[in-house]
Structure 1
């Protein structure tokens, strides 16, 4: 059962919610900037983080039926809609950016939800999944929305993303500060300390993904093909190295000769 829209709105109106909004908004800004000219979808309860995409062409806040929806009209281009998270009411390939916050933890079927996200994502689009971390303190208290539903590990999120045909590109963690009011004033120092010395205590995982791309570039002698830098920092997502077959190696050697 999902948290109600009233509970979520109340949380983001108190000091703990304001801290979550500030820290996560900074990470999202590093990844996507202001989403210039993009169509952006926020799924779950993402409205606290959508106002920063001020240069987007259109922003839609889609809220699951079990949660409820709130009016969100920061500008005339923005819309709110109530959705079935197993059958999103959007055409395929519509959105350039999809942000999921408080979306998969309490979903009846997280994989079905991500399958729908993959369907509505444009060929060059990007997704960021924000979810409660299994080992963090925020998942262990019911005083915050991150303490309800199912928390995830990094490997579990990567598995769900790959299963829906997307590829993890980068990841990050946040909310090392415990969800206790007396500690909030020291949040900046605790975030820096936790990132360096206690990464397993993070309360939230952010995972960015995009579509798999296949290409056959012509590589000239003395040139290398470089991969783009990950959008989220500080740690890029792990990638599985390709292993060339014997026949492929022989073909490459013959072409080089």
Structure 2
């Protein structure tokens, strides 16, 4: 069941949510270090990680799924957030340079359709950054945070899903090594625990972060289009006479018919 946008906003307004925003946001910024002149799309609940791009990107959009709800973002100026269907985003093809998915892939009912739609709106060579709960992490096992809801992923599952939807993974990262507890001592030591866990590549990180590029071909769609273009063939089991055909003649007095193999024009 998708999280409500009110719960997501409340989490990121808490001290533990601020820790998650800071630690994940650091990696997001490292991967998308220079977005001058780019169009950036955040899907799910990505607003805590989009503010850093507003001063350099041409446009920054925050799309939220209909099941989750939407909040106005940013708090000042023109709104850049919208409530959308994951498989039918109101964007033209190849109109987005960078996409960030947070609190979306693990909750959506059809993750392949979501990634296919992201593929459609990305420009050739566009890049996507997916943040998803790690199956082996503690954050996915405790439902007191948004990362404890939905379907967590292993590294292999996330890699296969990206490749099936025609994305080429180029970089992997992990974050949230600190446990998801609201104790003040753990919150204050979260940065140190994150540094130790990342430097030693310890297991048990809370989220997986994968960066991938859009492949410039879609073999599945081409194959389906070719199949639709093939003519239909109907089997015919009844043989047709070619060349000669037997004609019947009556033999007088014989009381029976015998075939007369006279040529018949066709």
| Range into which the TM-score falls when normalised by the shorter chain | 0.7 to 0.9
1:136 equivalent in alignment to 2:137: yes
Q: Distance in 1 between matches of 2:141 and 2:78?
A: 38
CA contact (8 A) 1:98 1:126 kept: yes
SS in 2 for 1:135: coil
SS in 2 for 1:201: coil
CA contact (8 A) 1:41 1:95 kept: yes
Q: Distance in 1 between matches of 2:178 and 2:151?
A: 20
Deviation at 1:75, TM superposition (A): 6.2
CA contact (8 A) 1:58 1:77 kept: no
CA contact (8 A) 2:44 2:103 kept: yes
2:3 — aligned with what? 3
Deviation at 1:61, TM superposition (A): 0.3
After superposition, residues 50-129 of structure 1 pair within 5 angstroms as 50-53=50-53, 54-73=55-74, 76=77, 79-129=80-130
CA contact (8 A) 1:105 1:132 kept: yes
Q: Distance in 1 between matches of 2:201 and 2:171?
A: 20
SS in 2 for 1:71: coil
2:209 to 203, 206, 209: 206
Deviation at 1:34, TM superposition (A): 4.8
Q: How many equivalent residue pairs?
A: 214
1:28 equivalent in alignment to 2:51: no
2:250 — aligned with what? none
Runs of 4+ in 1 over 3 A off after TM superposition: 74-78
Q: Distance in 2 between matches of 1:142 and 1:132?
A: 12
Q: Distance in 1 between matches of 2:201 and 2:131?
A: 20
Q: Distance in 2 between matches of 1:75 and 1:94?
A: 25
Q: Distance in 1 between matches of 2:34 and 2:45?
A: 19
Deviation at 1:199, TM superposition (A): 2.5
Deviation at 1:87, TM superposition (A): 1.7
CA contact (8 A) 1:123 1:211 kept: yes
CA contact (8 A) 2:124 2:216 kept: no
- The higher radius of gyration belongs to 2
CA contact (8 A) 1:168 1:210 kept: yes
Deviation at 1:212, TM superposition (A): 3.0
1:194 — aligned with what? 197
SS in 2 for 1:72: coil
RMSD across aligned positions (CA): 1.6
Deviations 1:144-167 (A, max 9, x none): 000000000111111111111110
Say if 1:118 and 1:178 are closer, same or farther in 2 by CA, change over 3 A.
same
Q: Distance in 2 between matches of 1:27 and 1:176?
A: 14
TM-score, length of structure 2 as denominator length = 0.77
My pick for the range that moved more, 102-111 or 191-200, is 191-200
1:181 — aligned with what? 182
SS in 2 for 1:52: helix
CA contact (8 A) 1:59 1:77 kept: no
Say if 1:59 and 1:77 are closer, same or farther in 2 by CA, change over 3 A.
farther
CA contact (8 A) 2:177 2:206 kept: yes
Say if 1:188 and 1:73 are closer, same or farther in 2 by CA, change over 3 A.
closer
- Structure 2: state its 5+ residue gaps: 218-266
